[in-house]
Structure 1
Amino acid sequence: MDLILLAVPFFIVLIVAELLADRLRGMRTYRLADAINSLSTGVLSTTTGLLTKGVGLVTYALAWEHLALFKLPGEALWVWVLAFVVYDFCYYWLHRMGHERNILWAAHSVHHQSEDYNLSTALRQTSSGFLLSWIFYLPLAVLGVPPLVFITVAALNLLYQFWVHTRHIPKLGWLEWLFITPSNHRVHHAQNPLYLDRNYGGVFIVWDRLFGTFQEEDDNEPVIFGVTTPLASWNPLWANLQFYAQLWSDARHAERWWDKLRIWFMPTGWRPDDVARRYPQAKQDLSRFQKFEVPLAWPQQLYVALQFAVYVGLGSYLMEHAEQLSVAALVLGCGLMAFGLFVLGTALENRPWALRLELLRLALNVPAMVLAGICGLWPVTALAWVLLLGYGLLSLFGLYGSRFLAGNARRLEAPAQPQAAAKHQQAAEHP
């Protein structure tokens, strides 16, 4: 039973509830482009995880089989409680090292790139964390925690973390001493110097209190969300590659071979002296902080949102049928997902080539359907072709309709601006 898949409807309901709370309280914790970007990275992480999660599961099973000091009984309640607590302890150190070492931050930084903080941020996950995260959970295998227990407590730990990504819940009294709460997790997502790299626990805040990484949310220091080197993009592929690209660039420009190697494992932000001198990186001035924004008319935003819903459907299909699909089918599904979300990201950024790329995406659906039939991604029937044709025609109509409406909106706004300027000038001359 996949607990994460079962929880998806509850995630949607709670996000809608948070949007209603925004409206009732006069807050704006959501922006469409940011939310789609967060959800896109989450969908991409989930679907690519169908191909990569075996890395962690296989290594854990092998370690449990050959290195376990004991074989703990999976039916005993105390084993589940022990596993839940020890898992969170291991998660604390993975999470902490994810902030303190370059190679691990390259993966984990995806979760922190959003400059908003809401429940969609909780679903913003990396696609490359599988590379090294499994190492930190081997102690559970050595203790003898059965693989099924490990998988289940891992899912429960992740599910717990969803609700703490909100600005609507204040401090919760004595719970702040024991558990991760919305207040102390807001601190974790901050880029303020006071809050930076604090509160790493997944469920329990006691690890932070024990190891000196706890910081309380201060009413006099409003949280500024995001990372100190902004993503400045709505593209989920670049979100996953940004810090890797930066490390690769620094390694390539470093003069010493030792620096080219060790940069990956040095503390986060470390750069070779010669590279830092020749290629300085400016950090944000938080006193003049502005969120990343790209002006985009509402009809175009609506078009992207509807197309994104199609990819949510594709992701749900892949998750539900993953066990019956071949590796080739999963690769095709993940490839379609990655390319489609990349194209939608360029549309949200209003890139000059976004229209051509979107037309290419729609055209490639035809060969993708043929490949889907060959590798068994889904049954390719006459009805499937009719649905694809209908989807393509509706998309073309929506694409050009949204651009037409956006153009009309801009033309209507243009004359209003000179008139407003003229009225302002008259008021200045005749107070």
Structure 2
Amino acid sequence: MNYILYAVPVFFLLIGLELLADRWRGLRTYRLADSLNSLSAGVLSTTSGLLTKAIGLLTYAFAWQQLALFELSADSLWVWLLAFVFYDFCYYWLHRMGHERSILWAAHSVHHQSEEYNLSTALRQTSTGFIFGWIFYLPMAIAGVPPLVFLTVGALNLLYQFWVHTRHIPKLGWFEWFFVSPSNHRVHHAQNPVYMDRNYGGVFILWDRLFGTFQEELDEEPVVFGVTTPLRSWNPLWANLQVYAALWQDAVHAESWWDKLRIWFMRTGWRPADVAARFPHSKADLSQFRRFEVPLARPRQLYALLQFVLYVLGGTWLLGQEELLPLSILLLGCAWVTFGLYAIGTWLENRAWAGRLELLRLLLNLPLLGLAPQLGLLAAPANAWALLAGYTLVSLLALILLQRQWVAPLRA
């Protein structure tokens, strides 16, 4: 069972309730562009995962079949309980190394780039974590945890982590001695020096207390969310590539071939001495911290929001149909979602060429509709294609009406 698919409506319901709580309490924990960027990263992650998750699953299944030391039964309750705790232990080390090693931080940094902290941040996930993430769960396969149990407890672990991404829930007393809470996870998302690289647990905070990485949220030190090298973009593609690009640039500039290789696996923030001398990085000053913002008229914001809804629906449909669709359709669907989210990010950044890119995005729906019979896409409900055609026409009309705003100050 795909628990994440069934959880999607609940996620958005809870986000709506948090927005109501914001208004009731007079807080402002959401900004439209930031939230759309977080949700876009989430849609991109789940969609690309249709193509990449097989790497981890096949590797785990092979290790379980060939290397398992014990025959554990999925019919035993104690196996499920053991697996749930074991998974979180493995997750702790994956998460910790995701902060402490450059190549792993390149993947995980996506989740930390938001300068807000709300339930939409929980859905801000990487699209490249599949490259190395599977390694940390191999001990479970070797111990004999069946793949079905592994997949289920992994989904439950991820679902648990959703609710801790909020500023509306205070400290929870004794609960925080054993479990990850909103308070100690706020610490994890901070860029304050006292909070950085702390509280890695997914469900249990006991690992942090045991291995010396726990930090309590302090009343005298308000959390500043985000990363010390800010993304400064609303583009989910760049969000996934930013740290890789910086590492690649430093590797190219390094004179030593040894440095070119080891930079990827060194502790996060390490740079070759010659590169650091020629291309120094300035330290972040939290007293001067300003959240990234791009002025955008309300009608254009609303347009971006409505366009994004289509990609939520499209990504959810792909997620629900993955077992029925051939690889070619999944590839096409992923490309459609990726390009659309890129275009929305460009629109939110008010780029000079955003209007032209948006026009291209809408026009590309027409050949998609024309190719539908040849690709077997008409297996989808006929009214879905009628809705796509109608959506494209309405969006084109809306784009024409918004054209007069393109002469406003643009962010080049």
Determine if the TM-score, normalized by the shorter chain, exceeds 0.5.
Answer: yes
The answer to whether the 8 A contact 1:369-1:380 is kept is no
SS of 2:263's equivalent in the other structure is helix
Question: Which residue of structure 1 lines up, in the alignment, with residue 210 of structure 2?
Answer: 210
CA shift for structure 1 position 37: 0.3
The SS at the match of 2:5 is helix
How does 1:251-266 map onto structure 2 within 5 Å?
251-266=251-266
Residue in 2 that maps onto 1:74 = 74
Change (3 A) 1:27 1:384: closer
Q: Secondary structure at the match of 2:30?
A: coil
User: What are the superposed Cα offsets for residues 114-172 of structure 1, whole Å, 9 maximum, x if unpaired?
Assistant: 00000000000000000100000001001100000000000000000000000000000
User: What's the CA shift for 1:382?
Assistant: 7.9
Specify the alignment match of 1:137 in structure 2.
137
2:359 paired with 1:359: yes
Cα distance in 2 for partners of 1:355, 1:397 equals 13
Shift in Å, 1:407: 7.6
Q: Deviations over 1:80-129 (max 9, x none)?
A: 00000010000000000000000000000000000000000000000000
Match of 1:57 in 2: 57
After superposition, what is the alpha-carbon deviation per residue over 1:193-226, rounded to whole angstroms, capped at 9, x for unaligned? 0000000000000000000000000000000000
Query: Superposition RMSD on alpha carbons, in Å?
Result: 1.6
Change (3 A) 1:313 1:273: same
Measure how far apart 1:326 and its partner are: 0.5
Question: How far off its partner does 1:63 sit?
Answer: 0.4
Q: In structure 2, what is the equivalent of residue 423 of structure 1?
A: none
Q: Which residue of 2 aligns with 1:301?
A: 301
Q: 1:201 to 1:381 in 2, by over 3 A?
A: closer
Q: Which 5+ residue runs of structure 2 have no aligned equivalent?
A: none
Deviation at 1:372, TM superposition (A): 4.0
- Measured in 1, the distance between the counterparts of 2:378 and 2:206 equals 48
1:166-177 equivalence runs, <5 A: 166-177=166-177
Equivalent residue number for residue 229 of structure 1: 229
Tell me by how many angstroms 1:329 deviates. Answer: 0.4
- Which residue of the partner structure matches residue 242 of structure 1? 242
Following superposition, the deviation at residue 384 of structure 1 comes to 6.3
What is the aligned partner in structure 2 of residue 23 from structure 1? Answer: 23
Deviation at 1:377, TM superposition (A): 3.8
- The AA in structure 2 aligned to 1:313 is L
Unaligned regions of 5+ residues in structure 1, if any? 412-431
**Residue 391 of structure 1 corresponds to which residue in structure 2?**
391
CA separation of 1:100 and 1:380: change in aligned 2, threshold 3 A: closer
Q: CA deviation at 1:392?
A: 2.1
Give the corresponding residue for 1:106. Answer: 106
Structure 1 counterpart of 2:342: 342
Shift of 1:386: 4.7
Is the CA contact (8 Å cut-off) linking 1:325 and 1:377 kept in structure 2? no
| Residues matched between the structures, number | 409
* 9-18 or 368-377, larger mean C-alpha shift: 368-377
**Any idea what SS the aligned residue of 2:351 has?**
coil
Code of the residue aligned with 2:213 in structure 1: it is T
In the TM superposition, residue 269 of structure 1 has moved relative to its aligned partner by 0.7
Q: Secondary structure at the match of 1:323?
A: coil
TM-score for the superposition, normalised by structure 2: 0.96
Contact in 2 for aligned 1:333/1:377 (Cα 8 Å): no
Are the structure 2 counterparts of residues 22 and 380 from structure 1 closer, same or farther at C-alpha, using a change threshold of 3 Å? Answer: closer
Indicate if the aligned counterparts of 2:100 and 2:268 stay in contact, CA closer than 8 A.
Answer: yes
User: In 2, are the aligned partners of 1:37 and 1:345 still within 8 Å (CA)?
Assistant: yes
1:250-289 to 2 correspondences below 5 Å: 250-289=250-289
- 1:91·1:136 contact (CA, 8 Å) conserved in 2? yes
8 Å Cα contact 2:355/2:406 also seen in 1: no
| TM-aligned CA distance change 1:379 to 1:208, over 3 Å | same
1:191 aligns with 2:191: yes
Letter in 2 for 1:120: S
Percentage of pairs with the same residue: 70
The TM-score normalised by the length of structure 1 is 0.92
Mapped contact 2:329–2:375 kept (Cα < 8 A): yes
1:342 Cα offset (Å): 0.2
Looking at structure 2, the residues matched to 285 and 403 of structure 1 have their Cα atoms a distance apart, in angstroms, of 39
Residue 248 of structure 1: how far off its partner (Å): 0.6
User: How far apart, CA to CA, are the structure 2 residues paired with 1:40 and 1:396?
Assistant: 22
Q: Secondary structure at the match of 2:165?
A: coil
Give distance in 1, aligned partners of 2:389 and 2:318: 22
SS of equivalent to 1:265: coil
Shift of 1:391: 1.9
Name the CA distance, whole Å, in 1 between partners of 2:384 and 2:63: 45
- The answer to whether the Cα contact below 8 Å between 2:51 and 2:330 also exists between their aligned partners in 1 is yes
| Contact 1:325–1:376, Cα closer than 8 Å, also in 2 | no
**Structure 2 counterpart of 1:279, which letter?**
F
Matched letter for residue 71 of structure 2: K
Structure 1 letter corresponding to 2:314: L
Residue pair 1:121, 1:165 contacting (<8 A) in 2 also = yes
Inter-partner Cα distance in structure 2 for 1:328 and 1:296? 37
CA distance in 2, matches of 1:391, 1:206: 50
Find the structure with the greater CA-based Rg. Answer: 1
